[in-house]
Chain A
Amino acid sequence: MSMSKSILGDLKDDIVHGAKAPIRAGREVIGTIRALRDGRASYREVGLTAGATLGAIVLLLIILFPLYYMINVALAAGTGAASLYEEGFFASPTEYNLAAFEWLWYDSGFFFRPNYQEAPTVGMWEAFTGSFLANSLQLVIPTVVFSMILIIPAAYAFSRREFKGRKPLLYGYVLLTQVGGGISIAALIAIYVVFNQLGLLNSFLAVSALYAAGAIPFNTWLLKTFMDNIPESYEEAAIMDGASRWRVMWEIVLPLSKPGLAVVLIFVFLAGWNEFILVQILLSADNHPLSVGLYRLIDEFSTPWGQFSAFALVYALPVALIYFFSQRYVESGLSFGGMEG
């Protein structure tokens, strides 16, 4: 797969570039100081720049305070703190222990069926199959596969082909991109009844198909706008050389829409991984995914913070990392067509 290779390459460049940022900043500071000394830069200019940058940093810190608080919550896990008031972040190193992570591994239901340790009558694999993680994967993987299969050809057809009903369809899709997940929550009552009548309650695949369906309009539109921005000259050249349309699609259009594909993949994955309202109604308790597992730890009055943190950390961190390192794609994805003045 050359595509994943080049995405990984981009990612590596991003990480390297990011890692070298302090070096660049240091050089800039040294350069500035030298310029000041030699009288090549005015103190006023430098002062303004430094002030503005400092102001922006302060603003950023204020915005991200909740995030710091969340990390704090996550680290409280290491202290097994019952309440957040027992400082997790500033706890003395001797106070850190792995109790919460032990609980996570053995008793939480995250990796293995709950209570698997007390009566290990089943093998490890068997115990894994009933876990929140296994349920999440059984939901997310089909969701991603279904969505990609449904979205890619449609986006290509909208972008490069003319067919009957193209305009009204596209108009309908554009309409549907303008709302979030509210439609599925609004339709949940009917979905529940229909699933019930068709015997689809408690089926992972049915819920995955539902997630994929919800993701179709927005992501098809997104990918189409990406493809619209690929110059057609490549295709023209290939067609001149006698390549078939399908070859052109496979070998030119798809590889060039790599960033778009990455965004769609991430959006669809996130949607499936994070959703927890529909899934609570449509699947029975044994089949609930991680999102519901985390939600169940929350009590009206007391939350076992150490346990909650450990669970949340392992549940949210991989997703946050994927998202963070794919930002360049997400940004270009979100500022899609029609947003510019």
Chain B
Amino acid sequence: MSFSSENADRSWVAQRLPSKDDQAGLLVLPGLLTYGIFMLYPIMYLIFLSFTNAGGAEDLIRGTYDFVALDNYGRLVQDSQFWTSMGVTWLFVFVSVVLKIIFSVAMALVFTHDRVRGKRYMRALAIIPLGLPPVFTITVWRQMFSPARFGIANEAYINIAGFLGQNPEPIGWFFNRWMAFASYVITELWLAYAFMLIIIVSALQDVSGELHDAAKVDGAGYLHRFIHVTLPAIKRPVWFASILTGATSFQQFLVPFIFNNGGPSRYNEFILLYGYREAFQSPPRMGIGAAIMVIALIFIGMFMWINVRKGRLAEGLSDQ
């Protein structure tokens, strides 16, 4: 799809009907107002909250709180848990995104390959995970990583080790900091590949067959063709999807929440989970929680901005 209709000169229809078209703005208004009331206003309020020392919601209703300026932020910077959360969240973003790209591109190449029959059906099956309720899939994944012997991950591990003549103990996936982290990464990979697969497949289908054929005639091997014909064609969509999926990883909440609450001992508490816990624990610390969420939102905003800027998504939209 292109932005042909986004060009500065509006369409023939619009030009031909110079009616009071500003009325059309009214069509956008209800949605905009709803978004404003339910999302933008709370975000403003969140920023305000982050400058107060509010504990629970009652404090805010009764007005029993003080304005403490940047105090919450200052305390966060000195809190080791904040840095742990930040670090583990970003590590998760990088590790999971790299794996997601490699995995999704490889899959997309297989499921669009000329020699593979029944591609369409395979793709239809491959993207099923997108349509399942996360609370269900994540719970089943948690079961697979069960530290007990009958967790499927442990079973596989023990069987493979047994095959190699070893007799190891089952892994306590959620009791070990890095094992828990690894289990999050594997799960995220499975939850997210379908989305990337769809995007990359649609990009691959646009790669001109003629170019490939020409390269073939010139005697270029598969790898050569991949690097010089396929990659340039899918570079942008892959890049785009990577930032999108990076944002998704950054906002991962459910997997640590359901697996082991970001454990062991808060090592894997991703940033949103950290903010959520501070705000809704007992006793609640909404001011601190709000400050954490504001910081998270700044990063989320960065993801958005990079993608729109670099993805040239807004071509013809902005005046630059």
Chain A interfacial positions (CB closer than 8 Å to B): 18, 21, 25, 28, 48-49, 51-53, 55-57, 59-60, 63-64, 66-67, 69-70, 73, 83-85, 146, 149-151, 153-154, 156-167, 169-171, 174-176, 178-194, 196-197, 209-210, 212-214, 216-217, 220, 225, 228-229, 232, 235-236, 239, 245, 270, 273-274, 276-277, 281, 291, 294-295, 298, 303, 308, 312, 315-316, 319-320, 322-324, 327, 330-331, 334-341
Check A220 against B133 for contact (C-beta < 8 Å).
Answer: no
Check B293 against A186 for contact (C-beta < 8 Å).
Answer: yes
Instruction: Encode B245-262 as 1/0 by CB contact (under 8 A) with A.
Output: 001101101100110000
Q: Which one of B1, B39, B111, B305 contacts A183 once the chains associate, using CB atoms below 8 Å?
A: B39
B58 to chain A minimum Cβ distance, whole angstroms, is: 9
Q: Which one of A56, A69, A170, A295 contacts B135 once the chains associate, using CB atoms below 8 Å?
A: A295
Q: Which one of A51, A183, A214, A315 contacts B133 once the chains associate, using CB atoms below 8 Å?
A: A315
Check B35 against A245 for contact (C-beta < 8 Å).
Answer: no
A284 to chain B minimum Cβ distance, whole angstroms, is: 14
Q: Which one of B5, B38, B131, B300 contacts A186 once the chains associate, using CB atoms below 8 Å?
A: B300
Q: Which residues of the other chain, B, contact A220 by a CB distance below 8 angstroms?
A: 31
Q: Which one of A150, A182, A189, A308 contacts B251 once the chains associate, using CB atoms below 8 Å?
A: A182
Q: Which one of A84, A330, A339, A341 contacts B143 once the chains associate, using CB atoms below 8 Å?
A: A84
Q: Which residues of the other chain, A, contact B171 by a CB distance below 8 angstroms?
A: none
Q: Does B68 contact A (CB under 8 A)?
A: no
Q: Does B67 contact A (CB under 8 A)?
A: no
In this complex, which of A149, A190, A236, A291 has the most chain B Cβ atoms within 10 angstroms of its Cβ?
A190
Q: Which one of A171, A179, A324 contacts B314 once the chains associate, using CB atoms below 8 Å?
A: A171
In this complex, which of A56, A64, A189, A281 has the most chain B Cβ atoms within 10 angstroms of its Cβ?
A189
Check B126 against A189 for contact (C-beta < 8 Å).
Answer: no
For window 1-49 of chain B, which residues contact chain A by CB distance below 8 Å?
1-6, 10-14, 16-17, 19, 21-25, 27-28, 30-32, 34-35, 37-39, 41-43, 45-46, 49
B226 to chain A minimum Cβ distance, whole angstroms, is: 15
Q: Which one of B128, B235, B313 contacts A320 once the chains associate, using CB atoms below 8 Å?
A: B128
Instruction: Report the bound CA distance from A126 to B243 in whole Å.
Output: 49
Supply 11 A–B pairs (Cβ within 8 Å), ascending by A.
A84-B143, A85-B150, A178-B247, A178-B308, A186-B275, A190-B42, A190-B43, A190-B46, A319-B131, A320-B128, A327-B127
* Chain A residue nearest in CB terms to B47: A190
Given known A60-B122, A239-B17, A331-B198, contact A158–B135 (CB-CB < 8 A): no
Q: Which one of A49, A194, A338 contacts B240 once the chains associate, using CB atoms below 8 Å?
A: A338
Check A335 against B202 for contact (C-beta < 8 Å).
Answer: yes
Instruction: Report the bound CA distance from A25 to B46 in whole Å.
Output: 58
Q: Does B181 contact A (CB under 8 A)?
A: no
Given known A193-B60, A213-B39, contact A180–B247 (CB-CB < 8 A): yes
Instruction: Report the bound CA distance from A299 to B61 in whole Å.
Output: 34
B207 to chain A minimum Cβ distance, whole angstroms, is: 9
Instruction: Report the bound CA distance from A73 to B142 in whole Å.
Output: 13
* Chain B residue nearest in CB terms to A214: B39
Interface of chain A: mostly helix, strand, loop or mixed: helix
Instruction: Report the bound CA distance from A186 to B3 in whole Å.
Output: 32
Q: Which residues of the other chain, B, contact A334 by a CB distance below 8 angstroms?
A: 195, 198-199
Q: Which residues of the other chain, B, contact A210 by a CB distance below 8 angstroms?
A: 38
Check A186 against B46 for contact (C-beta < 8 Å).
Answer: yes
Check B300 against A182 for contact (C-beta < 8 Å).
Answer: yes
Chain B interfacial positions (CB closer than 8 Å to A): 1-6, 10-14, 16-17, 19, 21-25, 27-28, 30-32, 34-35, 37-39, 41-43, 45-46, 49, 57, 60-61, 107, 110-111, 113, 115-119, 121-122, 124-137, 139-144, 150, 152, 190, 193, 195, 198-199, 201-203, 206, 232-237, 240-241, 243-244, 247-248, 250-251, 253-254, 257-258, 272, 275-276, 279-280, 286, 289-290, 293, 296-297, 300, 303-305, 307-308, 311-315, 317-319
Instruction: Report the bound CA distance from A217 to B23 in whole Å.
Output: 20
Instruction: Report the bound CA distance from A161 to B22 in whole Å.
Output: 9
Q: Which residues of the other chain, A, contact B49 by a CB distance below 8 angstroms?
A: 189-190, 193
Q: Which residues of the other chain, A, contact B127 by a CB distance below 8 angstroms?
A: 327, 330-331
Check A169 against B122 for contact (C-beta < 8 Å).
Answer: no
* Chain A residue nearest in CB terms to B115: A52
* Chain A residue nearest in CB terms to B14: A162
* Chain B residue nearest in CB terms to A337: B1
Instruction: Report the bound CA distance from A179 to B304 in whole Å.
Output: 7
Check B254 against A186 for contact (C-beta < 8 Å).
Answer: no
Q: Which residues of the other chain, B, contact A273 by a CB distance below 8 angstroms?
A: 133
Instruction: Report the bound CA distance from A169 to B27 in whole Å.
Output: 13
Instruction: Report the bound CA distance from A320 to B27 in whole Å.
Output: 33
Check A163 against B276 for contact (C-beta < 8 Å).
Answer: no
